[in-house]
Amino acid sequence: MKYMRSILPVILVLVMSAPAGAELKAEDIIIVFNRNMAESRSVSKYYSKKRGVPPKNIVGVNVSTSESMGRREYEKKLLPHVRPAIEKLKAEGRNPAVLLVYGIPLKIKEWGKKKEEETFKKLAAARVREYQELMLRMIMEVETLIGDKNNTTPATVEEAIKRGDRTTKEALSFIKTPSAGKKDREKKMKVASIIFRLTGFSSVAREIERKQAGMGRKDMDITEIDGIVKWNAILERQLNEVSFYGIFPENAGQVATAIRITRGIMGELIFWDNLLKKGDDEMNSSSVDSELTMVMAGPYQLNRWLGNPLNKIYDSLPGIEQFREKVVMVGRLDGPTAKSARRLVDDALEVEKKGLKGTFYIDARGLKGKDSYGRYDSHLYALYDRVKRKSKMKTVFNDEEGLFPPDCCKDAALYVGWYSLGKYVDSFDWVKGAVAFHVASSEASTLRKKGSQVWVKRMLEEGVAASIGPVSEPYLDSFPLPHIFFPLLMTGKHSLMEAYYQSTPYLSWRQLIIGDPLYRPFKGEPAIPLN
C-alpha cells in the first residue's frame, strides 16, 4: 500500500454533529443502467420496485459492457444522460444521488496529457525558477541586514523553503528586540517589509489574531481586525476552492495571485512547485463512481484527487455549503452477477426489519509510528475505543501484525482490517446484512473476473451486503476513516451512502462503495448513540 499526503491542506476541525442537508430518500435516487446489458436493466427495475424509486428516475446509457471505459466514452455517453436527470430533480427541490447498477463499468482508464497541459507544465517550471531566484535574493538581503551571513545556494525548492523558514524566524526575533536608535528602527522596518512580501498577509493576520486572543476584541484597533484579518479570511476561503476543484490552466493565475497575497512569495513558489510535481505522472484514472460525484461541479482538475466537501472534517469550514451543494453522492448496486447485485437490496430490506446482529471484527496491525501507516492504524484503535465505550455490540480487536486466521471470525456483522493485497483470507462466517471493507490497493479492481481473490468481489460472493474498495492504487490516505464511517452507520440515523460520503476523504479518485445506498442496518435499534 502506497501513501501520499494531500498537497493543499486546510485547517480542519473534527466534529460529530450531523451536517446540514435533508435525509436521503428513494425519490432522490437516480438509477443508471447499461442499455447494452439486459441484466443491467433488470437490476435497475428490481431496485426501483423494491425501494420505491420512481420509474422516471431510471436512466439508460449506451456504454461498454467491460469493467472499464475511456475518458471520452465517459464524457460523451454517460455524462450527457446523467446530468439532465440530476438537474430535473434539483429543479423539483430534491437532493439527487446516483446509483450505478450491475453493468456500468467500474473504472475510467488512464488517458494521455493534452497539449495545453504540457504548456501548463512549462509555465509552472518557469515560475519555479523565477520565484526560487527571487526568494533567495530576498532571503540573502534579510540575512545581511540581521547579520546572519550564509553564502550557500540551496539546490532544491525544498532546501530553499527550509532556509526561508529559518531566516524568517530569525528575522522576526530580530524585529522584536529593543531598538537602538533611528538607524536600527529603519533596518527593522526594511526587514519587516521583506518578510511581509516573503510570507504574505496570513502571517500578519495570525499575529493579530494572537493579539485578539490575549487582549480581547475591544482593545484591538478595528482597522486591523476588519482590514487584515477579514480580507485574509476572504482570500483563504477562495483558496479552499483549490481543495475541492483543484488547479487547471484556466484558474491557475487567479489562485497564484491569492496565494501571493496571503502566503507571500514563498507560498507562491510552493504552489508552482506542487503543480510541476503533479505533472510528473498522469494519475488521471478513477472509479466511474467517484468521478461522477463531480458531474455538477463545473471545471475541475482531472489529475489526481480532490477533497471531498461532504466529509465531516469540513463541517466547521466557513462557506462549506457552497461546495457541498455541487457534489452528487454516487453509489453502486453491483456484484459478480446480476443475481448477487439483487441480493444486496433483499438483504438490506430484511435486516432493516430486525436489525443487524453479530460481532464487529477490527483488524489493526499494531503500528505505532507517526507515518501514514501508523496514522491509519491509529484510526482503527480509535474505532475500537469508541465502540467499546459507546456500544454493547460484541467486538473483537486484533492488533497483531498478522490477519485474523481462517475460520475464526464467527457471526461477522461488521469488519474492517488490513493488509492482504488481492488475496482474500476466508476468516469469516458472515451474517446476513454484513458491512465490511479491507484496506488494500486493488480490492475493487474487478467484480467479474473468474478466480480473482480481491476482497470486495470475494466478500460479496461470501454474502456481505455492502463493501468499499479501490479500482486501482488509491494511496492509503484515500480510504474512508473507519472511526467515522462505522459509528455513523451504527447510530441508525445515516444510510450506507451518507455514512460513506461523510467519512471518505477524496472525490474524482479511485474508491467506490457497493450496496443498497438506503441501507440502514441499525435503523430500528441503534448500536451507538448519535452524540
How confident is the model over 215-262, as pLDDT tens digits? 454 444 433 444 555 555 655 666 677 778 888 777 788 888 888 888
Contact 273, 495 (CB under 8 A): no
In this model, does residue 144 exceed pLDDT 80?
yes
For cell 441484466, name the residue: 39
3-state secondary structure 367-384: CCCCCHHHHHHHHHHHHH
pLDDT, residue 279, reads 54
Give the residue-averaged pLDDT of 132-155: 88
Query: CB count, 10 Å around CB of 65?
Result: 12
* Strand 511-514 to 466-470 pairing: antiparallel
In this model, does residue 429 exceed pLDDT 80?
yes
| Closest C-alpha among 113, 182, 171 to residue 147 | 171
| pLDDT band at residue 14 under the 50/70/90 scheme | very low
Residue 244: C-alpha distances to residues 166, 238, 411 (Å): 31, 11, 40
Of the two residues 50 and 213, the one the predictor is more confident about is 50
Instruction: Tell me the backbone φ, ψ of residue 81, rounded to 5 degrees.
Output: -95, -30
Sign of CA dihedral 67, 72, 74, 76: negative
Percent of the chain with pLDDT over 70: 86
How confident is the model over 182-194, as pLDDT tens digits? 888 899 889 988 9
pLDDT, residue 287, reads 97
Helices of type H across 54-177 = 71-73, 79-91, 115-146, 157-176
Q: Locate 47 and state its grid cell.
A: 431496485
How confident is the model over 469-528, as pLDDT tens digits? 999 999 999 999 999 999 999 999 999 999 999 999 999 999 999 999 999 999 999 999
Between CA 370 and CA 376 the distance in angstroms is 10
Of the candidate ranges 94-103, 139-148, 412-421, 442-451, the one whose mean pLDDT is the lowest: 139-148
Partnered with residue 331 across adjacent β-strands are 99
pLDDT, residue 150, reads 75
Q: Helix 338-354 and helix 38-51: axis angle, to 10°?
A: 10
Query: CB count, 10 Å around CB of 105?
Result: 22
Could you give the 3-state DSSP secondary structure of residue 51? helix
Structure pTM? 0.81
How confident is the model over 100-121, as pLDDT tens digits? 999 999 999 988 766 666 777 8
Looking at residue 178, its amino acid is P
Of the two residues 12 and 503, the one the predictor is more confident about is 503
Of the two residues 318 and 436, the one the predictor is more confident about is 436
